[in-house]
Structure 1
Amino acid sequence: MNQTFRSRPVLVLATTAAALSLSACAYDPATSAETVSSGPDLAGIPAGTYALDPAHGKITWSVSHLGFSTYTGQFPAVEATLQLDPAKLQNAKVTATIDLTEQGTLNEQLNGHLKTADFFDVENHPQARFVTTGVTVVDNDSATVDGELTLRGVTKPVRFTANFNKGAVNPLDKKFTLGFDGYATIKRSEFGVSYALPAVSDEVELHLEAEFKLQGES
Structure 2
Amino acid sequence: MRRWFLAALAAATLGALSPAQAQDAAQRPGQPDVARISGGTYEVDANHTQVIWSVDHLGFTPLSGMFGRMSGTLLLDPKAPDMARLAITIPMEGLVVTSPRFAEHLASAEFFDAAKFPTATFTSTRVTVRGTQATIEGDLTLHGVTRPVTLEARFIGAGYNPQHKAENVGFTATANVKRSDFGLGEAVPMVSDEVTLTIVGAFKKRPS
Is the aligned partner of 1:125 residue 2:150? no
Larger Rg: 2
Q: Percent identity?
A: 38
SS of structure 2 residue aligned to 1:189: helix
CA deviation after TM superposition for structure 1 residue 34, in Å: 7.0
1:52 maps to what in 2?
44
Unaligned runs of 5+ in 1: 1-26
For 1:34 and 1:120, the matched residues in 2 are separated by: 36
TM-score for both structures, normalised by structure 2: 0.81
Q: How many residues align?
A: 185
Residues 1:65 and 1:171: Cα distance change in structure 2 (over 3 Å): same
The within-5 A match list for 1:48-87 is: 48-87=40-79
For 2:182 and 2:160, the matched residues in 1 are separated by: 39
The Cα RMSD (Å) is 2.3
Q: Deviations over 1:151-202 (max 9, x none)?
A: 1111110001111111111243331111111111100100011111111100
Q: Which has the higher contact order (CA 8 A, sep 6+)?
A: 1
1:141 maps to what in 2?
132
CA deviation after TM superposition for structure 1 residue 76, in Å: 2.2
CA deviation after TM superposition for structure 1 residue 209, in Å: 1.1
Contact 2:30-2:168 within 8 A present in 1 as well = no
Contact 1:36-1:168 within 8 A present in 2 as well = no
1:169 maps to what in 2?
160
1:106 maps to what in 2?
98
For 2:197 and 2:177, the matched residues in 1 are separated by: 8
Letter of the 1:187 partner, please give it: K
Unaligned runs of 5+ in 2: 1-5, 11-27
For 1:99 and 1:67, the matched residues in 2 are separated by: 29
Judge which range, 186-195 or 174-183, deviates more: 174-183
Contact 2:32-2:155 within 8 A present in 1 as well = no
SS of structure 1 residue aligned to 2:46: strand
